Amino acid sequence: MEGNKKNMTEEIRNKLLIEISEKEIEKFLFDLISIPSDSKNENEVLLYIEKHLKKNRIRVIRQYVDDVRYNLIAKIGNSKTGKVLFNTHVDTVPAYSRTQLFPYTKNGKIFGRGACDAKGSVAAMIMALLAIKRVKKLKKTSLTLALTVGEENSGDGVARFVKEKIKYDWAVVGEPTDLKIANAQAGYTEIIVKAISEKGHAFAPISDQAPLALVKGITSIFDYISKSKRKGFIQWLNGGESNSFWYTRPTSQASIIINTHPAERPSKLNSEIRGIITKLNKSLKSAKLELVIEDWDRGILLPENLPCIKVLEENLKALRTKAGKIVLPSWTDGSTLFSKRIPTFIFGPGALKDAHTVNEQVKISDVRIAAISLASTIL
């Protein structure tokens, strides 16, 4: 029995190796990257995808997020019990130059804005969907592909999607994980640190300078981040007044985002940061630091032995890819799905370190492996 199952799996995988080609992926991904789709401007790329799916006789609906923007939802299979979700986002961060909108290949890689974040995953999931439809009719599974908008700056697309309250057995979110399976995703805490002081003559100040107090606050917080082996970044930093008068500037503030492990409570981190600010305020003569917890998210933590994860690992190994599990350090739409009790993991081609960069890139072969392994897992 086990031998028959193994032979069937290999037969399906061999069919997918024929159905999903690097040449087809390269052309499709070239087209996707060539269409600008920074957050709030996703409609043009969705129109292209919609035409492509309809041409291949895939059912597609538009799910409006606001009066103009929408998610694109495709579905194959009619099972009312086994429901699986593929989700990834079509929006990108803005191109830093126009050249990023003209993709090119070099050494088997495609370069351009969105190549790995997340148009490589868009291509992989669409190719998987089309291949599944061609290879075998789904009888025990219903597969939904949700291409959402706004992931890079607001998460409004996935927030609209989960309002439908559809239950899924499991979901995979396409993001650059270097073909590793992220069964865990870091949470985060977003804080705003504000320094306040009094105006005074710049060379005879009556108060500590707010910008310098803020620098002390930021330095202390990042010392803590480093010692606790976390990651963090300054989202924005401002303060002062852009005039030529010689008085000390009374306010300065910064937004800082800090990673949290999905197994810990953000309240613990928040308490420790408050302690840092309280201690600093005692050392400041007249300026004062204030702390606001702006936002937070718990992240994702799934058991490693879920059947969907184990089967995906087996398929990756069969394709001679070194499978592994990671904790993804960045927020994704998966967090919103997970908060609605949908077992969600993250997986896709490309590396996070290449996302949002001038030289954003993805290996064409990795997009193909992602497509074949996802399709094999469903079948």
| pLDDT tens column, 91-101 | 999 999 989 99
- Contacts made by residues 230-237, CB under 8 angstroms, sequence distance 24+: 230/258, 230/259, 230/260, 231/186, 231/258, 231/259, 231/329, 232/256, 232/257, 232/258, 232/259, 233/257, 235/190
**C-alpha distances in angstroms, 251 versus 123, 141, 190, 245, 289?**
47, 58, 20, 15, 10
Provide the pLDDT for residue 5.
63
Predicted confidence band at 182 (pLDDT cuts at 50, 70, 90)? very high
- Consecutive H or E run containing 29: helix 22-34
- Contacts made by residues 54-57, CB under 8 angstroms, sequence distance 24+: 56/130, 56/133, 57/133
Mean pLDDT of the chain: 93
E strands present in the chain: 59-64, 70-76, 83-89, 104-106, 109-111, 142-148, 170-173, 181-185, 187-196, 232-239, 251-260, 288-297, 300-301, 325-328, 344-346, 361-363
Cα torsion 256, 259, 262, 265: sign = negative
Contact assessment for residue 65 and residue 157, using Cβ atoms and an 8 Å cutoff:
yes
Instruction: Give per-residue pLDDT as tens, 273-319.
Output: 999 999 999 999 889 999 999 999 999 999 989 999 999 999 999 99
In this predicted model, which residue has the larger pLDDT, 45 or 97? 45
Count of Cβ atoms closer than 10 Å to residue 376 Cβ: 26
Instruction: Give per-residue pLDDT as tens, 317-371.
Output: 999 888 899 999 999 999 999 999 999 999 999 999 999 999 999 999 999 999 9
- Retrieve residue 130's tokens: 């089309």
Q: Is the pLDDT of residue 1 over 60?
A: no
